[in-house]
Structure formats: structure tokens, C-alpha cells
Amino acid sequence: MLTHELTGFVTHLQTPTEPLRIRRSGELAWPDEQEHASAYAADPVGYALLALVPGVPPSQRARVLLRILDSSWAEFPVETRATLNRVARVLTLGLPATACVPVMLALRHRRANHKHVTRALLRLLLEHPQADSLIGSHRAVLVACFEHALGKATARGCAKSLTDDESTVDLVRPLLRFAPSPMVAIDRVRALYTPGAAGELAAQPPPVPAPLDLDLDGERPAVVTATNRGDIAATLVHLFRGGYSADLRLAVDRMVTAAAATLPAFPGTLALVLDQSASMRGYGEREWAVLSQAVALREVLARRCARLDVVSVGGPDTPRGATDLASGVLDALATQPDLVAVISDGYENTNPGDLARVVATLPRIGVTTPVVFCHSAYSHSDDLTLRRPAPAMPQRPFWHQEDFGQLLLWLLVQTRHPDSGRWLREALIARLSIVEESVR
């Protein structure tokens, strides 16, 4: 899958960009269409799955949705069509409804009338959790898309029959067979063709529900404490505080096993440079929080990596000592890994700049193993300004157990093993299934 320039294309997808725009002329403004077209041509399924990589913004996910819907799938094998259909479904239901609008409009302007386009257009109207509010704000566009999906005469016939009590038109074949909930579908099509109905609702608009969670972000606490950042870290905090008991130790093992079962596998060799210096202990209300999440990640990785080599910087029994990340990376490289991941709070003091300098030197001496930086943070709002020892390194923060899945996918993206494309593809297909579970 996109083995050539996979990391670069994912980085492109994760870069914030302008949303798709339809000009008054009907022309679509899509500056990076060529990149998407090339990637899709190289591997349609692999390309589609990349939209599920965490951190890809809605603007890029909308582009992927448009790219896969705009083309014919007729020449593809059954499995390919099935996977594209699954991705199109979760993207349609997972993007904010307003982000889907330019996609659907573009498909209409391009006269794309494949069956999968019909399904996607109707899915937006009949299944999307935000469709009710979209009908209120984008009625004309939705009517146009609805009529493009069913054909103008059929669409209007369906609408008329829903407002005419004595109609005997069969709604199942043209419309309701696409609707998982016929009553919701009937209400929405009625509202679509009844101007003012949405206006009445707008007097006291209900809260707009969130779309499908494509990033599997999970729920995060509004107020972060050392022990509400996931079960594993919470239990480790109690152990580190001195509350050792066999029950806590067993609980950690049980929690790690449960968490690992839901996470992507890393079928390669991962070398972990684990910062266990004094600062990882933290202080005040954050004491033990950063270290516990780093250790939780190490435990989970130990179960999901084909081989995990851990190089401790400081420690290892208790957090102590200075932070020499550069030597840690060199030790990690000696294990011949597919990827080196540095897990640290980001305070490098022996000496500041050494990590950046060593990592910058590696390609010049023929070492192509990627080295990435994983910030162990306390919360989503940590100020990392003084904690980026090598700004040019690929880096990603994590603070909650729910971040582990995203982090593992990111590690797979960074890996340059010949099979890494396949590893990522398998992980994303598994993730697709998890996302689908939430709408079943």
C-alpha cells in the first residue's frame, strides 16, 4: 500500500488545509487533487484507509471521500468494492455534515451517478446524526443532492407521497431500502420538502449531535488528575506512590492485557528509549502521572510488538538521574530495530541539543532507521515549548490511555520496513471494524 512515500503522503493528509469549496460557477477548488488522484490510482483501498489515520482533518477526509466516490468501482474485485464502500460509509457518517456538503455538490456537478454515490448521498440525508440541522441550514443543496441521487422525478414523487395521506406510491424500493430507520427517513424527507418545518424547530434548536468518532478519541476528563488518565496509569500511580499490593499488581496486568487487545499490532522490531530520569516523576498534583503513562505505554507495546527492546535513560527502578537521550538513541540503534521511539517528558539536559544533533547526523552516516519522539504529557494542555529537544524530529504527544491506539498507528506510519504498508493496512482495517461497531 502506497509504500512509496507513505509517510510523506500521510503527513500531507495530516497538514491542516482549506476545506473543499464549490465556486458559484460550479467549479471545484481542490488544489491538491493531483496528489490524491495519484495515491488513489496506486492503491485505491490503501488510499481510502489512510483517511482513518488519526489526526487527518475533516478537510482532507472530505477529499478522500470525494476521490473514492467520484470514480467507478466497476473494474475492482468484490473485496475492494466492499472495503471502499465501508470506508465511504464511515467517512460520510464521521465527517461533520457541513464538510460533506461540498463533496456531494461536487459529485452532482461532475454528474457522478454511480450506485455508491447514490448510497452516500442518501446516507448523508437519512443516517447522518447532524442531518436534521443540515436540512435547516442547507435545504436547497440537500434537495439538489437528493434529486441527483434518486432522479428528480422519483425524488419529488417520494416527497409528494409523504405529504399526501392517500398516496399509494411504493417508497421502499426507491427510498426506504436505503434507510436503516424508515421513520427517521420519512421525517427527514418531509422536512426537506416542507420549508418552515425546520424553522419551527430552529426556535429552540436541539443540540447538534456529534458525528461518528473516526479518531476513536474516547471520552476525556474535563478536569485532569493523576489518576483519571486511563486505568493502567491510575493503578500505576497508586503503586508508585507506595501503595503496593498484589491486587494492584494483578490489576495492572489485567488492564494491560485488556487494553492491548484493542490496539493495532506492531509486527516489526521497536526500540524504545524510555526516559526514567528524575523529572519524569513530576511534582505536586502531577507527581507520578507522566512516568505512569510512559510505563503503561511500554507495557502495552510489549504485548503488541513482535519484538520490543527497551533502553532506559536514568532509573531504572525509580526515576533518577539526568536525561541523556542522545546516548539512549545510539544504544537503541544497536539493537537493529525498524523504528526507534523516544518516550520522554522532553526535558533534555545532558546536553540540550545533543539529541537533535545525533539524529541529524544519522542519515549522513547511512543510518536510515527512523527515530521519533513521543511526548509523555500530563494533559492535552501541556505547554511543550521548552520540552522539544529536537524540533525537527517527528513527534506526537500522548497523555491518556485512549491515545495509545492513535500513537501505535502513527508509529506504523513512521516505520520504513518493506512490509510496513501491509502492517498499516491491516491495522486500519481492524480500526475500520471498530469504528463500524459504533454505528451498528
Partner 1 sequence: MTTTLELRQPAPLDLTGYRLGQPQRTGRLTVVPLFGPAYPGIGSPAAVKLARVVGYGKCLMSNAGDGVAIVPLHVGYIQDAAQNHALCRSAFLAPGQELLFADACCVQQSQGGYISDRGHGLFVLPVELRAAALDLRGVENYSKLWPAITALNTSYGLPARGHLEQVLTRQHAVLTQFQSRLELLPEQLGALLFIGECLAGIEIAPDPRYFAEMWVALVCFAYGPAARHAGPVDESVVPYDVSTVDELRLALAEDRRAVAEQTTRWLAEAPWQVSSIEETERFLDLRLSTVHGDGVAGQVVTDGQRLVYASLFSRELA
Interacting residue ranges for partner 1, rule: CB under 8 A: 277-279, 282-283, 314, 320-323, 326-327, 330, 333-334, 345, 347, 349-354, 356-358, 360-362, 364-365, 367, 383, 386, 390, 392
Nearer to partner 1, 262 or 351 (CB): 351
Question: What is the DSSP secondary-structure string of 123-148?
Answer: HHHHT-TTHHHHHHHSHHHHHHHHHH
Nearer to partner 1, 60 or 323 (CB): 323
Q: How far is the CB of 351 from partner 1 (least distance, A)?
A: 5
Nearer to partner 1, 196 or 284 (CB): 284
Q: Which regions of 329-368 does DSSP assign to beta strands (E)? A: 339-344
Nearer to partner 1, 195 or 353 (CB): 353
Instruction: Encode 269-283: b = buried (16+ Cβ within 10 Å), e = exposed.
Output: bbbbbbbbbebbbbe
223 alpha carbon, distance to own chain's centre: 24
The C-alpha atoms of residue 324 and residue 321 are separated, in whole angstroms, by 9
The C-alpha atoms of residue 9 and residue 4 are separated, in whole angstroms, by 9
Q: Which residue type occupies 168?
A: T
Nearer to partner 1, 212 or 356 (CB): 356
Nearer to partner 1, 130 or 369 (CB): 369
All 3 cell numbers of residue 185? 427517513
Nearer to partner 1, 327 or 379 (CB): 327
Q: How far is the CB of 438 from partner 1 (least distance, A)?
A: 39
Q: How far is the CB of 322 from partner 1 (least distance, A)?
A: 5
Nearer to partner 1, 112 or 333 (CB): 333
The C-alpha atoms of residue 234 and residue 281 are separated, in whole angstroms, by 14
65 alpha carbon, distance to own chain's centre: 15
Q: Peptide bond before 418: cis, by omega within 30 degrees of 0?
A: no
Backbone φ, ψ for residue 340 (5° rounding): -110, 125
Q: How far is the CB of 414 from partner 1 (least distance, A)?
A: 20
Strand order from edge to edge, sheet including 339-344: 305-314, 266-276, 339-344, 371-376, 395-398
The C-alpha atoms of residue 349 and residue 325 are separated, in whole angstroms, by 9
Q: How far is the CB of 278 from partner 1 (least distance, A)?
A: 4
The C-alpha atoms of residue 19 and residue 67 are separated, in whole angstroms, by 14
Q: How far is the CB of 224 from partner 1 (least distance, A)?
A: 16
Q: How far is the CB of 401 from partner 1 (least distance, A)?
A: 23
Q: How far is the CB of 225 from partner 1 (least distance, A)?
A: 18
